[in-house]
Amino acid sequence: MFHHVKELQFNARVSKPDVRFARLLLEQFGGPNGELKAAMQYFVQAFGCRKAYPAEYDMLMDIATEEFSHLEIVGATIQMLLTGVNGELKNAADESDLTKMLDGKAAKESYIHDAMIDPHFFIVSGGTPTLTDSVGNPWNASYIMGMGDLTADLRLNIGAETSAKMVYENLMKFTDDEYVKESLRFLMTREVAHFQMFQAALENIKPNFPPGILQSDPRFSNKYFNMSNGKDFKGPWNEGKSPEMKEEWQVVNHPLEHVQETNGLLDEKAKGTQRTEQSVQKDNKSLSKERKAEVDEATLPKNGVMSWSVYEESVEANSNKNK
């Protein structure tokens, strides 16, 4: 159930119209890293964990709903930046008013040029936000990412928040309006907050690595293939122990020869790890059984009926009424 509160989550303000920046801001309205993408991604992901992970479901729905609030802030800011455009476009009988609003002939010609690049924003929309990115590409559902596995989805969401944060950071460079920057900084900060929420939720699920259920092949999980010529660099990605599985990194300095010597890696041996094929298969079966039991128990029909919601307050109220 959604309930719309007419006041914005953050009091967005604009000092003066700015048609050009309004168009740039569309990137966060209908772009691939924008607020609608985030809202729909978290909203869709939440369905899969409603029963098995009710706490994470609650978090995903809360953040998805907040993202819709952010979409409203972005849309409201765009509309304020377009102040005057909507009315002047309606004044079809006198084009001189639009020329004056755009500060003369040169500005009007620039406006027309932009309209040719993105006609929907300047001509078809009539001066209102559109669900497109900044160059007019329409929003589409292919932006949404979800794997149906909560640990994988949370990692995708961490990436989504990172991308959105960077877009806001870049947008702030293209406006001198301190009020607009104030709103953008709020929105950018909430991306950082959500990043941390998803990260904390991921750490709350044990085990959470690797994503999914099936374990990795111990012959290849700690191999580092040196695939380039020139100076070699060392770091925690190719020396010492791997961060998650604590296996010793095995550096293959001559990949071509190594592949040839091992019959295309078919004869590769596991080194630097205590895991074996037998232990991997055992862990696969164990985790598969555990996750299946979690889902089955959480989704088991009650009295032959599957119900999405349990209206505890209504049930309690009826119970007290019948006493």
- Write out pLDDT tens, residues 122-137: 545 556 788 999 888 9
Instruction: Indicate the SS3 state at residue 226.
Output: coil
Choose among 48, 53, 209, 9: nearest CA to 144. 48
The total of structural domains in the chain comes to 2
Query: Average pLDDT in the 168-191 region?
Result: 97
From residue 69, alpha-carbon distances to 23, 24, 168, 211 in Å are: 20, 19, 16, 30
- Residue 230 assigned ligand-binding role: yes
Choose among 151, 153, 250: nearest CA to 210. 151
Helix (H) or strand (E) holding 225: strand 223-225
C-alpha 311 chain-centroid distance: 31
What predicted TM-score, i.e. pTM, was given to this entire model?
A: 0.84
Tell whether the model's pLDDT for residue 92 goes beyond 50: no
pLDDT-based confidence at 112, cuts 50/70/90?
Answer: very low
- Residue 242 assigned ligand-binding role: no
Least confident of 231-235, 262-266, 294-298: 294-298
What DSSP letter does each residue of 171-214 carry, written as one string? HGGG---HHHHHHHHHHHHHHHHHHHHHHHHHHHSSS--SSSSP
Whether residues 143 and 61 share a domain: the answer is: yes
- Residue 67 assigned ligand-binding role: yes
Both structure tokens of 232? 């070699």
Whether residues 142 and 162 share a domain: the answer is: yes
Residue 190 φ then ψ, to 5°: -65, -30
Whether residues 45 and 164 share a domain: the answer is: yes
Cα–Cα dist 55/50, whole Å: 8
Query: Average pLDDT in the 265-291 region?
Result: 96
- Residue 35 assigned ligand-binding role: yes
Both structure tokens of 39? 């809202």
Whether residues 73 and 138 share a domain: the answer is: yes
Evaluate the CA torsion angle 65, 70, 76, 78 in order and state its sign. negative
Cα–Cα dist 48/147, whole Å: 10
pLDDT for residue 123:
47
Both structure tokens of 267? 């004869």
Query: Average pLDDT in the 16-21 region?
Result: 87
Q: Determine the structural domain holding residue 232 and report its residue range.
A: 215-276
pLDDT for residue 307:
84
CB 52 within 8 A of CB 298: yes
CA triple 259-265-270, angle to 5 deg = 120
| The domain boundary residue, chosen from 204, 237, 263 | 204
- Residue 62 assigned ligand-binding role: yes
Whether residues 178 and 237 share a domain: the answer is: no
Query: Average pLDDT in the 135-147 region?
Result: 93
Cα–Cα dist 76/43, whole Å: 22
- Residue 304 assigned ligand-binding role: no
Whether residues 195 and 228 share a domain: the answer is: no
Whether residues 193 and 243 share a domain: the answer is: no
Cα–Cα dist 118/124, whole Å: 10
Domain containing residue 159: CATH number: 1.20.1260.10
- Residue 58 assigned ligand-binding role: yes
Query: Average pLDDT in the 92-99 region?
Result: 48
Query: Average pLDDT in the 105-120 region?
Result: 51
pLDDT for residue 117:
46
Residues in Cβ contact with 278 at an 8 Å cutoff, skipping those fewer than 6 apart: none
pLDDT for residue 252:
97
| The domain boundary residue, chosen from 149, 172, 204 | 204
CB 187 within 8 A of CB 70: yes
- Residue 161 assigned ligand-binding role: yes
- Give residue for tokens 């990692």: 155
Cα–Cα dist 250/252, whole Å: 7
Tell whether the model's pLDDT for residue 95 goes beyond 90: no
Instruction: Indicate the SS3 state at residue 289.
Output: helix
Whether residues 199 and 230 share a domain: the answer is: no
Both structure tokens of 91? 């004044």
Cα–Cα dist 49/42, whole Å: 11
